């Protein structure tokens, strides 16, 4: 019992990360579980998987291979990666990209968690409306959505005009990180809400009542019972939003400033302005590598955490 609570929280994370890897298996497509059916005696399954795997190898694997070749084709060879990591500019941009993605993830969780909870308690009609509202942006052009933010956020835009009408000081909402985070969080919100909702929908809300009947306040019941159960959704949403945010281009291009460029913008600049395809490719490879590294790190954490109590342990 000593340290029971602490051990418990580690287990929550482990459970959550496991849930997350399931989501990733389905969405991002990482992990060896994909290949397991091929190794076994699952003849028909293997055949069914063969077609999409071949397609993936062609449209994802081959370009990646070309990209890698191109990045090491310069005079520096493989050393280009060391060179890039040694460069202050690259490091600063990489760090900014990671921080921006983290900030977007945080904003999406803060907005998405209550929204997803609302979905679980809403009447069927309201739920349908709320889901449509969150998915609606998917049906609109990405660029138009971002341009809409420009209209709202710019210095003479709707928000600042309203503020000045009310006699309030204007805000700098565009050409900086604020604008980028607002625009990206808007695009990413569905990716946070949907996994959160999927996890919360499975939570029996009588459990909170049970905790309250045991003497817990509503707040304690939420923290000790509901939150741990929704953790798989939180982790799945975080990973999804974070990784997708790493590669954003149009939104930071329109709402950010070149001074605050993200990695994708640096790649774009290298291609269009510098004409250095080698560096651009190497940066692309770097982005993929960082993403994969993060995924691997998470998977390792899952294995290490003491959450996996063996079945039937006494």
Partner 1 sequence: MADQTSLKSRTRWRTATRPQTSHGGVELRLTGLTRSFGSAIAVDNVDLTVKPGEFMTLLGPSGSGKTTTLNMIAGFLAPDSGRIMFDGRDVSSLPANRRNIGMVFQNYALFPTMSVRDNVGYPLRQRRVKASQRRSQVDAALEMVELGHLWDRRPAELSGGQQQRVALARAIVHRPPLLLMDEPLGALDRRLRDSLQSEIAAIHRHVGSTVIYVTHDQDEALCLSDRIAVFRDGRIEQLSSPSDMYEQPETSFVASFLGDSNILVGTFTRDGNLRLPDGTEVRCGPADAGRGDAAVAGPATVVVRPERMRLTELEATPRSGTNCLVGVVIEERYLGATRMVALDVGGDRRIVVRENSGAGQTRPIGSRLRVCWEPADGVWIDRGADRHGESS
Give contact residues for partner 1 (rule: CB under 8 A): 1-2, 4, 8, 11-12, 15, 204, 206-207, 209-218, 220-221, 224-225, 228-229, 309, 311-314
Contact between residue 226 and residue 203 where contact means Cβ atoms under 8 Å apart: yes
Q: Pick between residue 17 and residue 266 the one whose CB is nearest to partner 1.
A: 17
Q: Pick between residue 216 and residue 254 the one whose CB is nearest to partner 1.
A: 216
Shortest distance (Å) from residue 215 CB to partner 1? 4
Contact between residue 171 and residue 159 where contact means Cβ atoms under 8 Å apart: yes
Shortest distance (Å) from residue 200 CB to partner 1? 14
Q: Pick between residue 297 and residue 301 the one whose CB is nearest to partner 1.
A: 301
Q: Pick between residue 225 and residue 263 the one whose CB is nearest to partner 1.
A: 225
Shortest distance (Å) from residue 6 CB to partner 1? 12
Q: Pick between residue 259 and residue 314 the one whose CB is nearest to partner 1.
A: 314
Q: Pick between residue 181 and residue 229 the one whose CB is nearest to partner 1.
A: 229
Shortest distance (Å) from residue 225 CB to partner 1? 5
How far apart (Å, rounded) are the C-alpha atoms in residues 10 and 3?
11
Q: How would you write the chain as a 3-class SS string? A: CCCHHHHHHHHHHHHHHHHHHHHHHHHCCCCHHHCHHHHCCCHHHHHHHHHHHHHHHHHHHHHHHHHHHHHCCCCCCCHHHHHHHHCHHHHHHHHHHHHHHHHHHHHHHHHHHHHHHHHHHCCHHHHHHHHHHHHHHHHCCHHHHHHHHHHHHCCCCHHHHHHHHCCCCCCCCCCCHHHHHHHHHHHHHHHHHHHHHHHHHCCCCHHHHHHHHCCCCHHHHHHHHHHHHHHHHHHHHHHHHHHHHHCCCHHHHHHCCHHHCCHHHHHHHHHHHHCCHHHHHHHHHHHHHHHHHHHHHHHHHHHHCCCCCCCCCC
Q: Pick between residue 82 and residue 213 the one whose CB is nearest to partner 1.
A: 213
Question: What b/e string do you get for 164-178 counting C-beta neighbours within 10 Å, with b at 16 or more?
Answer: eeeeeeeeebbbebb
Shortest distance (Å) from residue 171 CB to partner 1? 42
Q: Pick between residue 109 and residue 229 the one whose CB is nearest to partner 1.
A: 229
Shortest distance (Å) from residue 118 CB to partner 1? 21
Shortest distance (Å) from residue 235 CB to partner 1? 14
Shortest distance (Å) from residue 8 CB to partner 1? 7
Report residue 187 as tokens.
């695009």
């Amino acid at each position: 019992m000593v340290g029971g609570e602490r051990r418990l929280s580690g287990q929550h994370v482990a459970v959550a990360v496991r849930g997350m890897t399931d989501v990733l298996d389905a969405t991002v497509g990482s992990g060896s579980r994909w290949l397991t059916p091929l190794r076994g005696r699952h003849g028909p399954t293997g055949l069914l998987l063969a077609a999409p795997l071949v397609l993936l190898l062609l449209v994802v694997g081959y370009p990646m291979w070309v990209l890698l070749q191109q990045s090491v084709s310069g005079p520096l060879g493989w050393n280009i990666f060391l060179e890039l990591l040694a460069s202050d500019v690259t490091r600063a941009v990489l760090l900014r990209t990671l921080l921006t993605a983290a900030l977007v993830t945080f904003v999406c969780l803060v907005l998405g968690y209550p929204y997803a909870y609302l979905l679980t308690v809403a009447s069927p009609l309201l739920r349908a409306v709320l889901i449509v509202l969150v998915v609606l942006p998917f049906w609109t052009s990405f660029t138009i959505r971002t341009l809409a933010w420009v209209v709202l956020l710019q210095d003479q835009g709707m928000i600042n005009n309203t503020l000045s009408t009310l006699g309030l000081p204007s805000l700098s909402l565009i050409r900086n990180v604020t604008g980028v985070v607002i625009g990206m969080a808007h695009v990413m919100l569905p990716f946070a809400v949907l996994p959160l909702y999927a996890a919360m929908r499975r939570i029996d809300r009588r459990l909170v009542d049970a905790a309250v009947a045991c003497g817990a306040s509503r707040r304690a019941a939420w923290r000790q019972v509901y939150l741990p159960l929704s953790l798989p959704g939180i982790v799945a949403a975080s990973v999804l939003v974070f990784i997708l945010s790493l590669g954003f281009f149009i939104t930071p291009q329109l709402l950010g400033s070149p001074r605050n460029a993200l990695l994708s913008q640096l790649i774009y600049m290298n291609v269009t302005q510098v004409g250095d395809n080698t560096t651009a490719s190497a940066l692309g490879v770097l982005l993929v590598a960082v993403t994969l590294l993060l995924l691997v790190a998470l998977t390792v954490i899952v294995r290490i955490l003491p959450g996996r109590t063996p079945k039937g342990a006494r």
